[in-house]
Structure 1
Amino acid sequence: DVVTIGGSGFGLMGIIVGAERGFISRQQAVAHFEKATSFLAAADRFHGAWPHWLNGVTGNVYPFSTYDDGADLVETSFLASGLICVRQYLDINQTEEEIIITRINNMLDQIEWDWFTRGGLNELYWHWSPNYNWAMNMKVSGYNEALITHFLAASSVTHPVSASVYHNGWARNGGIINGNSFYDILLPVGYNYGGPLFFAHYSFLGLNPQNLSDQYANYWTQNGNHSLINQKHCIINPKNYLGYSAECWGLTASDDPSGYEVHEPVNDNGTISPTAAISSLPYTPEASMAAIKHFYFILGDKLWGQYGFYDAFNPSESWWANSYLAIDQGPILVMIENYRTGLCWDLFMSSPEAQRAMEKLGFSR
């Protein structure tokens, strides 16, 4: 009964893809949007922000950890990105769809982005708890998966934050710049070797990185090179894990033999997560397609089940997941379609939120 908020945002985009590709009808999609948005509007929110997890029956917060029992601003931004895509997809001239559009706008307007500056600090904070206040004390600072959080916070009409929150809090006044090469591939921003590949996916399911630049990076270059560094690490395979190759690559957060881990070149235990390579399809089409074919044709039913590729596998430990995670499946679905048609990119970038944020934060395309 656990609902993950960020994964739900990815799933809403996936419903759009499913309707446009003919897997479900538009009428079925609209019915889902009605049900989902009605639930979300009635569910627990804290200063307008949803928690990381909700009880899917009651709509009450399901604590992610002891102190994380309230708002999660980053998960909220992933959901908000999906809601914006849904709103842009719907037809305001259809009464049933207009009701959903109004509900979405109301929920978006109620997110108090400015509350998460803790009284006007030049930075955003990830969590707030009604019981423990700011005990989590985690800043939303880059570089990681949360660019979209600052993007939407800056774009808000009702509860905006200043551009200085982005430049000071996220970009750390230029501290996010890397500029070094790893495996002879330049990394514009972020941690050495780029971090887990979900950094290149979560914020960019709606936000289109094609030609997207600000004073810190070109984000198409960033995401493409991050993906290539990840693949090159698996080719070089410094720890000699079984299975790694140019066609079998991809390190990101996923299930693994010990439970769950954030995999990346500097935290590599031999676990490959299909979502990593597949969701990078727009950036590295040849390398990602080679991985898809390897996963499907070579690994076959060890990795493929009712809902597509399982979450992860580790040949060195003869371990194969039989699980599906929303935050891994969602990006696969959306990024394949963004590669094919740009569907979710076009929807999100057509929004007034995207236009306001681009102008306010100094982005260009």
Structure 2
Amino acid sequence: MMEQNKEAILDLELKGCFDFFWKEANTDKNSPGYGLIRDNTAPANKNMASIASVGFGLSTIIIGIERGWISKEEGYERTRGTLHTFLHHVEHSEGFFFHFLDMNTAKKYEASYDCASIIDTSIFLNGAITSAEYFGGEVKELFEQIYARVDWQKYYDESRNVFYMGYTPEKGGFGQWDMYAEQLMQYILGVASPSYPVPVKIYKGFARDLVQYGEYEFYHSPGGSLFTHQFSHAWFNFKDIVDEDGINWFDNSVKATLAARQYCIDNPQGFRTFGEHSWGLTACEGPNGYRGYGAAPFHPNCDALINDGTVAPTAASGSIVFAPDEVIDAMNYFYKEVPQLWSEYGFLDAYNLDVTPPWVADRVIGIDKGITALMIENYKTGLIWDLYMSNEHVKKAQKMLNWNQQ
């Protein structure tokens, strides 16, 4: 089948991604953590949920319904219960949720960061928006209450016109979203907030570093990890949209994807794992733990030798809307040539042939399964894009930010 239909791998991987989000959730309706989804499948982390994983999972539930893997009633009940959990039980600060939660209590996980996360909350909200548009009714009402509670102004550094990366009531804001990365979704959600909006000018506050790699010129993100060019695109369809400066972020991600692939082909460090069919550098599990792998050109504050030969299937598959032929080729290569990468939830997180013995991840990670699932569905049907783009808050933000159709 795989030889006859190169796109068959997409359905196999998509089903594996869905199964992760559906099965690795708290399904106890009497639990404060009902609907929370594990961050990853490592046994040691069985009680650690990720709010970003939940955000991707909410959108993936819709995919499961549309593909007949679950009923609409099942999906509605899980979604409604999950949003009820976030409104009434999940620990938060100024409406923002903590990166990691205890699966059972919905309180901050013991190993979590000491502040709530603006980017992970945004990912959760994006998933909730698609749920609101798909189900309407009580699901939409729950989303609106959760969204209205988020105080975006607490994370706004007016002096520098950027979002803080972190905030606590005791310390105030710290860190800066002062570079291009995965945070475009924050401007959408922040300027359109019905209760605590930030000024539209914040979109002008981050640096746009134009770089060149080979024939590709694009706006780069520190470290060169491909997830930074993917995450906001999983929900907002930037295709054929330009901002006031004439930037088309979709085209930018196309160039960044092809440049990252070319970097693996050029393979300046001579890794055995890198090549024309085996490419994809992003934040993922590696032989020495979780790391932010990336492609050149490297930002001055990043280590140019950050890579060790690790390749993550999600880095390629999450870019399928940008470079479909190259991505489908890579996914088939991983499936056929690295069979130990395959699991009950599709591709494991990463592999590396440059260590002894060769290494394959022992887990899948929610955000990696999530970006893969949503981008495959968008490539095939545009379902998640269509739902998100029909939301009144998203439409309002697009108009306010002056992001116009080409």
| Cα contact 2:273–2:310 (8 A) shared by 1 | no
Residue number in structure 2 paired with 1:291: 330
Equivalent residues in 2 for 1:267-306 (5 A)? Answer: 267-300=306-339, 302-306=340-344
| Cα contact 1:114–1:120 (8 A) shared by 2 | no
The equivalent position to 2:381 in structure 1, one of 341, 344, 352, is: 341
CA deviation after TM superposition for structure 1 residue 132, in Å: 4.2
| Alignment-mate amino acid for residue 153 of structure 1 | G
Q: Provide, for residues 130-184 of structure 1, a one-character-per-residue CA deviation record: whole Å limited to 9, x for no partner.
A: 45443xx21122211111012210111211110112212xx3xxx3141x32022
Aligned partner of residue 338 in structure 2, secondary structure: helix
The equivalent position to 1:206 in structure 2, one of 235, 242, 256, is: 235
For structure 2, list consecutive stretches of 5 or more residues without a partner in the other structure.
1-46, 296-303
CA deviation after TM superposition for structure 1 residue 63, in Å: 5.3
Residue number in structure 2 paired with 1:57: 104
The equivalent position to 1:139 in structure 2, one of 146, 159, 176, is: 176
Residue number in structure 2 paired with 1:239: 269
The equivalent position to 1:353 in structure 2, one of 393, 399, 403, is: 393
| Alignment-mate amino acid for residue 82 of structure 1 | G
CA deviation after TM superposition for structure 1 residue 121, in Å: 5.9
Equivalent residues in 2 for 1:98-113 (5 A)? Answer: 98-113=137-152
Residue number in structure 2 paired with 1:80: 125
1:264 aligns with 2:294: yes
Distance 1:350 1:223 in 2: 23
Distance 1:72 1:221 in 2: 28
340 and 37 in structure 1: CA distance in 2 versus 1, 3 angstrom threshold: same
Aligned partner of residue 316 in structure 1, secondary structure: coil
Residue number in structure 2 paired with 1:308: 346
1:321 aligns with 2:361: yes
Residue number in structure 2 paired with 1:155: 192
100 and 244 in structure 1: CA distance in 2 versus 1, 3 angstrom threshold: same
Aligned partner of residue 255 in structure 1, secondary structure: strand
CA deviation after TM superposition for structure 1 residue 122, in Å: 2.3
| Alignment-mate amino acid for residue 197 of structure 1 | L
| Cα contact 1:52–1:64 (8 A) shared by 2 | no
For structure 1, list consecutive stretches of 5 or more residues without a partner in the other structure.
93-97
TM-score, with normalisation over the residues of structure 2?
Answer: 0.82
Residue number in structure 2 paired with 1:95: none
Aligned partner of residue 404 in structure 2, secondary structure: coil
The equivalent position to 1:26 in structure 2, one of 62, 72, 76, is: 72
CA deviation after TM superposition for structure 1 residue 15, in Å: 1.0
| Cα contact 1:211–1:219 (8 A) shared by 2 | no
CA deviation after TM superposition for structure 1 residue 99, in Å: 1.8
| Alignment-mate amino acid for residue 182 of structure 1 | Y
CA deviation after TM superposition for structure 1 residue 335, in Å: 0.4
| Cα contact 1:150–1:166 (8 A) shared by 2 | yes
Answer with 334-343 or 137-146: which moved more.
137-146
Q: Provide, for residues 185-222 of structure 1, a one-character-per-residue CA deviation record: whole Å limited to 9, x for no partner.
A: 111x2247x71000121111111121122134211211
Distance 1:64 1:160 in 2: 31
Q: How many residues get paired?
A: 346
Distance 1:185 1:63 in 2: 43
Distance 2:337 2:185 in 1: 36
CA deviation after TM superposition for structure 1 residue 123, in Å: 2.1
Residue number in structure 1 paired with 2:27: none
Distance 2:257 2:387 in 1: 24
Distance 1:59 1:133 in 2: 24
Distance 1:158 1:132 in 2: 23
| Alignment-mate amino acid for residue 101 of structure 2 | L
* Identity percentage of aligned residues: 28
Aligned partner of residue 86 in structure 1, secondary structure: helix
119 and 212 in structure 1: CA distance in 2 versus 1, 3 angstrom threshold: closer
| Cα contact 1:62–1:69 (8 A) shared by 2 | no
| Cα contact 1:61–1:70 (8 A) shared by 2 | no
| Alignment-mate amino acid for residue 229 of structure 1 | A
Distance 1:347 1:63 in 2: 35
Residue number in structure 2 paired with 1:190: 220
